[in-house]
A and B are shown apart, each in its own frame.
Chain A
Amino acid sequence: MLTSPDQALLLARWQFAFTVSFHIIFPAISIGLASYLAVLEGLWLRTRNTVYRDLFFFWSKVFAVGFAMGVVSGVVMSYEFGTNWSGFSTVAGSVTGPLLAFEVMTAFFLEAGFLGIMLFGWHKVGPRAHFFATVMVATGTLISTFWILASNSWMQTPQGYALEDGRIVPVDWWQIVFNPSFPYRLVHMALAAFIVAATLVAACSAWHLLRGRGDAAIRKAFSMALWMLLVVVPIQIFVGDAHGINTREHQPAKIAAIEGLWETEHGGTALNLVGWPDMEREETRWAVKVPHLGSVILTHSWDGEIRGLKDFAPEDRPNSTIVFWSFRIMVGMGLLLLLMALAGLLLRRGGRLYANRFFQRFVLLMAPSGLIALLAGWITTEAGRQPWVVYGVLRTKDAVSAVSAQQVGTSLMIFVVVYFAVFGTGIYYMLKLMGKGPDLPRDAAEAAAPDTGKGAPRFDHRPLSRPTDPIDE
């Protein structure tokens, strides 16, 4: 039987895992789409090709809903630091607090200030000012990524601080922000967000191609997204590899758990392709091994040493069963995406890209792959940091508030209900918008509609206010 503080800890962890996992979906989409929108509007200004403008309007609607969801679901987390994790706030707030404050000051306000103009100001400001607003929103999302990843990376590989009567005192902010794992994590996350957006754009276009809509906007979006993936996915694999080597250096227990490796092997470590790490038995059952491959991947040498989990005290080990599999799901998705991008390249020869229905079905099926990889990656890095909240400094069990399990449990239930109702609707609406697709090039009816005088709503003035986008029809 769990005692109440243990229950409160467990529930607080579940609550944070639930809210943060729900939340990250939306910023990932916003970060990727914001940059895509800036590119589209830039191309529209440069080429005056209406295809780019139509795509801009279309994806800005999806972006608007995703962004609103991201803002409201994000507010929850910063309060959880206080409500559920006051031990963390008291001990580490001196470092994570300023980083969060910088995020709010440099990113949130930039986004909020220019979002209104981007979404509602199409006819209130000139085209260049509007483009500037879009670029500012995109920049804001990336600055946000910078600070949050600085904070998270510092919790993974802390440096630049001193301990004074149990509390962390920052000493060197440069070292804190640019901690050892920060560059890898930042690039890995930003690329992941671009991949998320590109898979969504590609899958949405594939859906419309499959339904027989082959107009220029759809083809353009399909082609752009696949080019994007072809460039970014290989870079991501390269960055992920470098990140792994960095983790082996700074968080060896996490790597051992990811690999399901118990003994420190000498003269070259094998790689467990699949298997079932068992925390009780201290072994990985039913393992399928490839000799030396572990060393080759993680040390880039034939016989590099990787420390096994038994090198660490049982209370310092992360849960290998979880991270072993979450890591493999992430890598699997990455490889499938690489395959998809390469297949797209092959099909371009001879113009089969827009005709091959099998490929389009595959792309559609891959719609959630970016998000699944992203979530699996975050689970790997966060669960792999356990049992620490600040690696090597503050244990998760010492970070929880002195609140009752009842309070945490009640709020968890409220969040589950609210999140599924509210964000479920939001996701449904985003899918609905995507299913509808960009507006067809002005059809005859629209072109013939009389302009009803001054201030009358005109097609190109109303990116988000098209009455043709009901949620429930």
Chain B
Amino acid sequence: MTIDLPVVWAAIIAFGVFLYVLLDGFDLGIGLLFPFFDREHDRQTMLNTVAPVWDGNETWMVLGGASLYAAFPVAYSVLLPATYLPIIGMVCGLIFRGVAFEIRAKARRSQRLWDVAFMMGSATAVFCQGLILGTLLQGVPVVDRKFAGGPFDWLSPFGLLAGLGLLVTYATLACGWLIMKTDGDLQRRVHVAMKPLVWLLLAFIVAVSGWTVLGQASVAARWFSLPNLFFFLPVPLLVVLCVAGILHALGKRYDRRPFVLTAAILFLGYTGLIISIFPNIIPPGLDIWAASSPPSSQKFTLVGAAIIIPIILCYSAMSYWVFRGKVRHDDPGYH
């Protein structure tokens, strides 16, 4: 039996990117919620909930990028020039955010300035990620394994919609995270904030999926042809169920369920995206086999990934375990 290496690598990258979106999603989301919680005390608590883990969360993006570069260099060298300025924007946003994280706690007079850097950095990074996602979904022209579009192809109404959609997604996820990790007054206010966000999230999911399906015949064919429809129908149905579940959990003041169900929505949305584009890695024309690096590269990296990724998952889980439980403002040991 031979292993279809490109498929294995596509699965690993899909897994890594999903973990990134989930994990960095809630800590980027905290930056998005910052403007609505302007007491220093609250802000410090919010940051404390992610201080020990955000660096590890961001590393999943680096893994996604490096794996894409290693396993599908053609996709890498097409996608990045295609989304040149959003990539630069995202990286700059992450720089500001990362440094603000470290420095704001140590600043006094300039603390407000670093708060702004943190908020703007987070928002820019998320919005640019949405633009990149939108660009990918609407398709990138490729000729002779090179990007063949213009420098502003990403600036489309659909791209902007995806950008806004990702902002809402991460903000909702961060609400769920904070409800889980905080208590008292702060938790109460996050409860209040989350409800409208969940409705907004549903609206964006409908808009983005509707646009994708209506705008691209190939995607519509994938979803609506029989028997595919029966296999894929649970995805949208489960999304609706999850939304109902979150609203119910918010009413009952459950601690963990809002986060878990938001993560489930994220997973379903992500699954829907993969259903729409697989086996393409850059829609509409570049599939995972055409974009692959030589088998010797994929095999070599796979040996490492098979051994190391499970170990990484173990000690990342351990790190979350060490810092488990509610976080309070005056906990010792943080910034």
Contacts and interface: CB of A to CB of B under 8 A. Distances in A.
B56 A109 contact: yes
Interface string B46-83: 00000111011011011101110111011011111100
Nearest to B335: A465
Contact of B312 (A94, A96, A113, A173): A113
B197 to A, nearest CB: 28
A124 B332 CA distance: 10
Contacts of B103: 65, 425-426, 429, 471
B102 A65 contact: yes
A101 B67 contact: yes
Given A65-B102, A170-B300, A462-B332, A105 B308 contact: yes
A468 to B, nearest CB: 10
Given A73-B95, A124-B323, A426-B103, A86 B53 contact: no
A472 B108 contact: yes
A83 B94 contact: no
Given A68-B101, A108-B59, A401 B81 contact: yes
B81 A465 contact: no
A124 B321 CA distance: 11
Nearest to A61: B106
A176 B1 CA distance: 28
A470 B106 contact: yes
Contacts of A301: none
Contact of B107 (A96, A167, A471): A471
A65 B84 CA distance: 29
Contacts of B289: none
A69 B98 CA distance: 8
Contact of B85 (A106, A111, A411): A411
A414 interface: yes
Given A407-B151, A464-B335, A90 B96 contact: no
Contacts of B145: 90
Interface stretch (A115-123, A189-197, A215-223, A242-250): A115-123
A278 interface: no
A109 B312 contact: yes
A470 B332 contact: no
A428 to B, nearest CB: 10
A139 B101 CA distance: 25
Interface string B210-232: 00000000000000000000000
A112 B59 contact: yes
Contacts of B56: 109, 112-113, 115-116
B293 interface: yes
A328 interface: no
Nearest to B107: A471
Among A115, A164, A458, A469, the one with the most B-chain Cβ atoms within 10 Å of its Cβ is A115
A64 interface: yes
Given A65-B102, A101-B301, A414 B92 contact: yes
A101 B66 contact: yes
B332 A458 contact: yes
A164 B294 CA distance: 10
Nearest to A116: B52
A105 B312 contact: yes
A431 interface: no
Determine the main DSSP class of A at the interface with B. Answer: helix
Among A105, A415, A418, A425, the one with the most B-chain Cβ atoms within 10 Å of its Cβ is A105
Contacts of B101: 68
Given A78-B69, A120-B51, A471-B106, A83 B322 contact: no
A120 B44 CA distance: 15
B304 A94 contact: no
Nearest to A408: B84
B244 interface: no
A82 interface: yes
A106 B8 CA distance: 20
B271 interface: no
A97 B293 contact: yes
Contacts of A470: 106-108
A118 to B, nearest CB: 10
B91 interface: yes
Contacts of B322: 116-117, 121, 124-125
B99 A81 contact: no
Contacts of A332: none
Interface in B279-334: 293-294, 296-297, 300-301, 304-305, 308-309, 312, 315-316, 318-319, 322-323, 330-334
Interface in A411-441: 411, 414-415, 418, 422-423, 425-426, 429
A312 interface: no
Nearest to B65: A78
Determine the main DSSP class of B at the interface with A. Answer: helix
A64 to B, nearest CB: 7
Nearest to A69: B99
A120 B304 CA distance: 30
A120 B333 contact: yes
A171 B147 contact: no
Interface in A91-135: 93-98, 100-106, 108-109, 111-117, 119-125
B155 to A, nearest CB: 13
Contact of A414 (B81, B88, B94): B88
B41 interface: no
A169 interface: yes
A404 interface: yes
A96 B300 CA distance: 12
Interface in B172-231: none
Contacts of A73: 95
Interface string B87-124: 11001101110110111011111100000000000000
A464 B101 CA distance: 13
A198 B186 CA distance: 45
B146 interface: yes
A362 B320 CA distance: 47
Given A113-B315, A121-B52, A104 B102 contact: no
B92 A106 contact: no
B55 A112 contact: yes
A75 interface: yes
Among A90, A121, A125, the one with the most B-chain Cβ atoms within 10 Å of its Cβ is A90
A101 B293 CA distance: 13
A402 B331 CA distance: 52
Contact of A93 (B96, B293, B315, B332): B293
25 contacts: A68-B99, A71-B98, A72-B94, A72-B95, A75-B62, A79-B87, A82-B69, A90-B145, A93-B73, A98-B304, A101-B70, A102-B301, A105-B304, A108-B62, A112-B58, A115-B55, A115-B56, A116-B322, A117-B319, A121-B52, A121-B333, A407-B85, A415-B88, A458-B332, A471-B108
Interface of A: 64-65, 68-69, 71-73, 75-76, 78-79, 81-83, 86-87, 89-90, 93-98, 100-106, 108-109, 111-117, 119-125, 164, 167, 169-171, 173, 401-404, 406-407, 410-411, 414-415, 418, 422-423, 425-426, 429, 455-458, 461-462, 464-465, 469-473
Per CB-CB distance, the 4 closest pairs between chain A and chain B, nearest first, are A82-B80, A93-B73, A116-B52, A97-B70
Given A76-B91, A113-B312, A122-B333, 4 more contacts: A81-B76, A101-B305, A121-B52, A426-B103
